[in-house]
Amino acid sequence: MLVPWSAETGNDVACICIPWAGAGAAPFRPWAGLLGDTADVYGVRLAGRESRQTEPPATALGDVVDELVRELTELGAPRVALFGHCSGALLAFELAHALRRSGTAPELAHLAVASQLPPRAVRSAPFHEEQDLLRYVPEAFRNEPEMLEVLLPILTADMKLVSDYARPADAPLGAPLTVVYGGCDDELGAAEVDGWREETTGVTAFHEIAGADHLFSGAAWPALAETVRAALS
C-alpha cells in the first residue's frame, strides 16, 4: 500500500500522502524532489488502481486504516507526517487517531489536509450521480469514455468508504495541523474549512492557494507540495 517515492531515504520524517477518491500513488511521485530536504515521501496506493488494479476496492474505512497502521509500524520511521487530499483527508485524519491509539506506531509529526470539509461537518450522503463523481476526475480524462469506464467504479467504491463517515469520539489530536484549500474551489473556502481547528490542540494553519481548483490541477499541484514542505520545515 505504501509506495516509496524518495530515491534516498534518511529523513527523520516520512510523509505519507493519501490521494483523493479514484486516484493512486503516482501523483505524489514528483513530490519526492520537492520535499526531499524535509521528509521521505510515500504515496498510498489503495486496492483497485495502478499496480493493484486487479484487487477489489476496499469496502470498510477501518480495514484500510488498520492496514496502514501495520505498514507504518513496520516501516520503522521515527515520525510520520500525514497528508490527505479530499476524501483522503478523512482517511489521514482517521489514521492519525489510530496511530495515537496504537501505542507502538510512529509519532505523528504533522497532519496536513486539502480540499476537504472538517470531520464534524461531513454529512452522510450517497454518491450515485456520475456528475457528482466527475469533479474528482482530472479534466483531461473527463471526455475519454474508456478512461471513465475504469475510473468511475473505483470512484464509486472510494466514495462509499466515506459516504457514511462519522467522526470518532476521540479527543482532539495534539499535532500541528495545516489546512489547504484552492482559491478557485467552488465548494470550499475559508469559512467551510475553519472547523478543522477544532480537531487539534496544536497549532492550526490555513493556506489558500490562488488559482487552484478542487484537485489542484496544473501549476497548483507543485504549489500544494511546496505548502506542505513549508509546513514540515
What distance in Å separates the CA atoms of residue 133 and residue 21, rounded to the nearest whole number? 9
What distance in Å separates the CA atoms of residue 178 and residue 174, rounded to the nearest whole number? 13
Q: For the chain, report the end-to-end CA distance as a whole number of angstroms.
A: 26
pLDDT for 60 equals 87
Cell numbers of 190, please?
475559508
What distance in Å separates the CA atoms of residue 120 and residue 196, rounded to the nearest whole number? 8
pLDDT for 30 equals 96
pLDDT for 58 equals 85
Indicate the SS3 state at residue 182: strand
Listed as ranges, residues in the chain with pLDDT below 50 are 128
- Strands 107-114, 177-182: pairing kind: parallel
What distance in Å separates the CA atoms of residue 25 and residue 50, rounded to the nearest whole number? 8
Q: Answer whether 83's CB lies under 8 Å from 225's CB.
A: no
Superfamily in which the 2-232 domain is placed by CATH: Alpha/Beta hydrolase fold, catalytic domain (3.40.50.1820)
What distance in Å separates the CA atoms of residue 53 and residue 190, rounded to the nearest whole number? 36
Dihedral of CA 176/21/46/95: which sign? positive
pLDDT for 144 equals 72
What distance in Å separates the CA atoms of residue 58 and residue 60, rounded to the nearest whole number? 6
pLDDT for 16 equals 98
Q: Answer whether 20's CB lies under 8 Å from 85's CB.
A: yes
Residue with cell 504549489: 223
pLDDT for 13 equals 94
What single-letter amino acid sits at 52? R
pLDDT for 222 equals 97
pLDDT for 147 equals 67
pLDDT for 135 equals 66
What distance in Å separates the CA atoms of residue 28 and residue 221, rounded to the nearest whole number? 9
Question: Which pairs from 128-132 meet CB under 8 Å and 24+ separation?
Answer: 128/156
